[in-house]
Amino acid sequence: QVQLQESGPGLVKPSETLSLTCTVSGRSISSGDYFWSWIRQPPGKGLEWIAYMYISGGTYYNPSLESRVTISLDTSKNQFSLRLTSVTAADTAVYYCARGHNYWGQGTLVTVSS
């Protein structure tokens, strides 16, 4: 069974870059034609899809975040990552990584504050 675990700073200053990593276990991220996703949820609000990437290289971003987001894969470490630049308080959320839309990490809270 595939398992995912998010990691990264829990506090980021406004205007700085948010960087998160998702470590995948139980399955190689190189196996199968899956896509690897990032989703977020502001406190008390609904889910928002951020981005996903296929191992074959196809990458898709939420149009509202596209100018600030980068997703990347590191097959040697069985990880994938998210970078979100120029963050504001509106980017405060629980960030989830997922394989496709079916297997989710437990989420990590990132707060944007000075």
Contacts of 63 (CB under 8 A, 6+ apart): none
Q: What are phi and psi of 91, to 5 degrees?
A: -90, 0
Contacts of 13 (CB under 8 A, 6+ apart): 112, 113, 114
Looking at 5, 62, 70, 78, which residue binds another protein (CB under 8 A)? 62
Residues 74-103 that bind another protein (CB under 8 A): 96, 101-103
Length in residues, the chain? 114
Q: Which is nearer to another protein, 57 or 63 (CB)?
A: 63
Q: List the x/- string, 26-45, binding to another protein by CB under 8 A.
A: -------------x------
Chain residues in the site for another protein (CB under 8 A): 39, 46-49, 58, 60, 62-64, 96, 101-107
